[in-house]
Amino acid sequence: MTRKGLPTFGLVMALLLGGGGPARGEPEAPPLTTDVLSAPVPSPSSAGQAEEDDEAARILREVTAETATDAEPGLVAESEPRLLVYGFLDAGLQRYVPRDEDTRALLVTPESTFVSGNTNVYFDVRPVRGWRALVETRLTLLPHGDYQYAGLGPATRTNTRILDTTSPSGRNVVQLGGVVVERSQIEYSFNDALNVRVGYFFTPWGIWNVDHGTPTLISLMMPAFLVQEAIPQRQTGLEVYGRWNGPPWQVSYAAYASNGRTSTLFDLTDDKALGGRVVASRLGAAAFAVGLSAYSGTSGDETKRLVLNAAGHPTFEVSKRFAFIEQMAGLDLSVDLRGLRLRLEGVYRRTRYDEGLREASVLVPGAFLPNFDSYFGYLIAAYRCGRHFEPYVYAEYGDGGLRNNVVDSGYTVSGGLNIYFTPYTQLKTQYAEVRFDNFSGSDHRLGFFTSRLVLAF
């Protein structure tokens, strides 16, 4: 794990309220995440919806979700090879309202601004029975405008505007963007109870990280434990998962070995991170799911220098920069009762550094990060009023345990309204009040309004 500099405003404030992180929402009908081991799959419509709503939700699942292997393990049995392309995008308006100058300085701008958020495209390949490859990409305008801090002194702002010398004019200006690989994985399904996944996958953890995607969750704001990476959101490794059904009950599991939290694309040690998740669900009109997640792994970094050895020949000198071991545990609860939906998650993280191998603090020159314990939790309560409106409230508390971070501890109180125009289009709005402590003092306050128009395709 590396700390390359002071995060930009999207990462900064998202530690508590997630503004600037990926927008999140729910599909046409209020679902219970009955298989929180799967990727962004909106669940079937709840009882009482009209038949056309059920059909609309089915279509939405097909175009916005990872439908086959995760939704129904063992059912990837296409008679002909298939390539499915689907996805979602969102854009909106947002504004910060800082209550003090220190908070104002953390933001790129507090003024109202339009935002192009997510443009996610899925490439879903089913070549033969049982086999599947899934690649999810996010097209983004980043890193243009991103601030970088190397410690005390002025920040530098990334500029990706360049001359398009390949155009007929040879001198018009274009702005480069980027591609985020959200996941890239190969899967094989033996049956409902046993499936294997290898590659770069979302960590099977809790509700939020599994129900990834703008059309899938209720709140626009990402929980602090995800943005602060109390758990690795994604990992490279091997995962096995499955489920057992005994209506109205269902038990799901996932277990994995991975590189864990790494400073590079590779694991720098032979130690592998281990983790897993177990979920017990009750389906039906009064549905609920209880999940337990766990993770344990080591992480660190090293430096290499080109030096001359005793014989005067060039050689590489390798030294460790830092090393630590971490364990995390999480508990989550989902409840769906008619139009009411409740989502609750709690996360605990324990981090211990090796003696003499503590990580240097970016914000406090000469200081090193201590051993620390982190606690996070959030609660969402939403109620679906008819077919088109869903108001909700959101409360969150987080304590990073470091006392020298940009945002270390604090709470968020928020409310929002989701408007469902069609199975493919939604308008998400949310306002939050945040109080937080950080390296420069305590009791910083911030208001934040955000909105996203979401389209699935």
Q: Which of 4-18, 181-195, 259-273, 307-321 has the lowest mean pLDDT?
A: 4-18
pLDDT band at residue 216 using 50, 70 and 90 as cut-offs:
confident
- Confirm whether 434 is domain-assigned: yes
Q: Is the predicted pLDDT of residue 12 greater than 50, yes or no?
A: no
Percent residues over pLDDT 90 in the chain: 58
- Confirm whether 376 is domain-assigned: yes
pLDDT band at residue 39 using 50, 70 and 90 as cut-offs:
very low
Q: Is the predicted pLDDT of residue 33 greater than 50, yes or no?
A: no
The number of domains in the chain is 1
Burial of 197 (0-12, 13-18, 19+ CB in 10 A): buried
- Confirm whether 150 is domain-assigned: no
How much is the pLDDT for 349? 97
- Confirm whether 104 is domain-assigned: no
Higher pLDDT, 229 or 277: 277
Q: Is the predicted pLDDT of residue 252 greater than 90, yes or no?
A: yes
Q: Is the predicted pLDDT of residue 397 greater than 80, yes or no?
A: yes
Higher pLDDT, 8 or 248: 248
Higher pLDDT, 143 or 364: 143
pLDDT band at residue 2 using 50, 70 and 90 as cut-offs:
very low
Higher pLDDT, 252 or 211: 252
- Confirm whether 287 is domain-assigned: yes
pLDDT digit string (tens) for 69-91?
Answer: 344 444 444 556 799 999 999 99
- Confirm whether 156 is domain-assigned: no
Which CATH number covers residue 392?
2.40.160.10
pLDDT digit string (tens) for 357-388?
Answer: 999 887 777 788 899 999 999 999 999 999 99
- Confirm whether 264 is domain-assigned: yes
| Owning domain of residue 247 | 22-70+191-456
Q: Which of 23-37, 159-173, 179-193, 418-432 has the lowest mean pLDDT?
A: 23-37
Find the mean pLDDT for residues 158-174.
88
pLDDT digit string (tens) for 271-292?
Answer: 999 999 999 999 998 999 999 9
